[in-house]
Amino acid sequence: MRLRRFSGHAASAVMHDVKKALGEDALILGTRELPGGGIEITAATDAEQVVRPLPEGPPPQAAALAANDGRLEVIEGMLRGFDSQLRRMNRGLAVVRSTPVTPAATENAWAALATEARGLAEMLTEHGVPRPLAVEIAKRFGTRSAEGVGFDDALAGAVSDSLPLVEGTATANIRFLVGPTGSGKTTTIAKLAADQVLSGGTPPLLLMGDTVRVGAAEQLGGFARLLDVPMYTIDTPQDLRARVAEAPPGAPIYVDTAGLSSDSSIGASLRDMVDVCEGRAGVTAVVNATAARSSLCRVWEQLEGLRPDSCAVTHMDESDEPGIACSWVEEVGLPLRWLGTGQRVPEDLARATGASLALWLVAA
C-alpha cells in the first residue's frame, strides 16, 4: 500500500483534493490536526495495490537473473522491496487502528476528559505530542487515576500503553547504530560500552564503519582508550566479518556507521554490512529529539531499508518539544529502546520506559 497525505485549512477542501487525485474509491486511513492549523488526511486507493502491467520486453530483473552471476543480489534486492512494501502497509493499518476518524472525534474526546486529564493533555501538546496521541495518553491516565493509582504511576502506565517500547534486553550481540549525521550515534555507543565495562560484563568490541566524516574514528578511538576496550575501523563487509570472528564469545559488538543523507549509496553499503552478519545483528535507529518532524520523515526513507528493530532518541535535554520525535516513533511503529538525556558517559543514557518517557514529556 502506498500512502498519500493531503493537507489544507478545511476538511472539505482536503477531501476534494483526495478525490481529485485518487478518485471516488479513495480509502481514508486517518486524519490529524496540524500544529499550525488545518488538517492532514492520509489516504490510499485500491488501484495502488494492483500489480502494474509488465512492460514490453524482459524486465531489468529478468535480464539480470538470466546471467550466471549476481542472481542472489537481485533476489535480495527484490525481497527488500517486498519487505518495505509490507512495512508501509502495516503502518497504514496502524494508522487506521489508532487515529481518530475525524478532528471532531478528537475534540469530543478532549472535551470529555476530566479536569486533571485535560490538564495533562494540554501539557503534552505543549511539548510536541500531537493532539490525538495526547488525548489517548490522557484518557488512559484518567482511567488509572479513577482506579486510585497515583499520578506518577498512572502517567507512566498511560505512556507505556500508548507508545511502542522495547520489552526486555537486546538479544543480538552485534548492534548497529544508524541515523543521520549529528544524531548522537558515537556518543550513544560510548555510553553503552562504558555501562558494559562498569557493570563488570564482557568487554565490548567497538567498530567504526564511518569512513566519511573527518575525525569519526579518532572520536570513538578516544572513548575506546579511556575504557581500555578494542576499537577497529572497518571499510567493507569482509572487514566486519573478520573482526566479528575474532571477538571473544559473548562480547557485545557495537558498530558505528556513516550518517545517512540523500546519498542512497550510504544506506546500500550499510545493508551489505548488516547482511554479512547473517541474522546475528540488531539495528537501532538513532534520531535527535530536536529534529523537525519533516526531517524525521525524510530520514525514515533511508532508515526503513535497514530494517531497524528499535530506536534511540537522543538530545532529550536540548529539546523543547520531545513529543515530536516520540510521536514519530509511534507513527512508524518503531519500538523505543534508549533515551539520550545529556553528554555524561554513561549516566545520561536511560532505558526507555513509561516512567522515563513521562518525565521528559511533561517536564520538558
Q: Which among 190, 194, 206 is positioned nearest to 255, based on CA atoms?
A: 206
pLDDT for residue 16 is more than 60 = yes
Which residues lie below 8 Å from residue 259, measured CB to CB, with a gap of 6+? 179, 180, 181, 182, 183, 185, 210, 212, 213, 266
- Predicted local distance difference test score (pLDDT) of residue 363: 77
- Predicted local distance difference test score (pLDDT) of residue 27: 67
pLDDT digits (tens, 9 = 90+) for 248-259: 988 999 999 999
Q: Once rounded to an integer, what is the mean pLDDT over residues 188-210?
A: 93
pLDDT for residue 73 is more than 90 = no
- Predicted local distance difference test score (pLDDT) of residue 238: 94
pLDDT digits (tens, 9 = 90+) for 291-300: 999 999 999 9
Q: What is the DSSP string of 263-306?
A: -HHHHHHHHHHHHHTTT-EEEEEEEETTS-HHHHHHHHHHHGGG
Q: How far is it, in rounded angstroms, from Cα 179 to Cα 185?
A: 7
Yes or no: say if 117 and 145 are a contact pair by the CB < 8 Å rule: yes
Share of the chain above pLDDT 70, in %: 80
Retrieve residue 342's grid coordinates. 545529556
Q: What share of residues in the chain are helix, strand, coil (percent, to 5)?
A: 50, 15, 35
Retrieve residue 280's grid coordinates. 546475528
pLDDT for residue 307 is more than 80 = yes
Q: What residues form DSSP beta bridges with 255?
A: 176, 207
pLDDT digits (tens, 9 = 90+) for 20-66: 888 776 766 667 777 777 777 777 664 433 333 334 444 444 444 34
Q: Once rounded to an integer, what is the mean pLDDT over residues 92-110?
A: 58
Best mean pLDDT range from 93-97, 191-195, 267-271: 191-195
Choice among 34-48, 69-83, 208-222, 251-265 with the minimum mean pLDDT: 69-83
| Entry pTM | 0.70
pLDDT digits (tens, 9 = 90+) for 334-361: 999 999 999 898 999 999 999 999 999 9
Choice among 59-63, 271-275, 310-314 with the minimum mean pLDDT: 59-63
In degrees rounded to 5, what are phi and psi of residue 25?
-90, 15
Q: Please report which confidence band the pLDDT of residue 119 belongs to, taking 50, 70 and 90 as the band edges.
A: very high
Q: How far is it, in rounded angstroms, from Cα 326 to Cα 312?
A: 10
- Predicted local distance difference test score (pLDDT) of residue 92: 45
The rounded mean pLDDT for the chain is: 81
